[in-house]
Amino acid sequence: MTLVSISEAARLTKRSRTTIYRYRDEGKISISSDHQGNPMIDTSELMRVFGPISLDITEHSHEQDGEHRVTDENDTVHPGKTTENALLRESVRRLETALEEAKQREAWLQGQMERLTVLLTHANPPSQAPHAPWWKFWSQ
């Protein structure tokens, strides 16, 4: 589900912020923190405690300090993260290329191993002439 601020939770549940903090202090609702340390509540937690809520995506789109904006529960835009995302994508691409090369190398080695196994198993055994006992040397 979506994490919302205390004020947003108060609007969604039509309760005061004081009530939400009191529920937290009594242990009736759990509050987590976002990456900046701001208290946030999961909407599923609000539904568990207060029952059905009216969750309007446009209503809970909020901007905090102009740093990021939530447009959907799974779509968060972070302007400072585009470079990091590009680097991570490049790293993933390199790793996928290395994996593909390793698979090709493994397939080639497997073929070599099978070819050598066939050669070894079909090798003609050395022809051995019947060996005469050593004492037959004197009888000739």
For the entire predicted model, the pTM comes to: 0.39
Q: Mean pLDDT for the chain?
A: 79
Confidence of residue 113 (pLDDT cuts 50, 70, 90): very high
Domain positions in the chain are 3-77, 79-122
pLDDT value at 65 more than 60 = no
Q: Which of 4, 72, 75 is closest to 39 using CA atoms?
A: 4
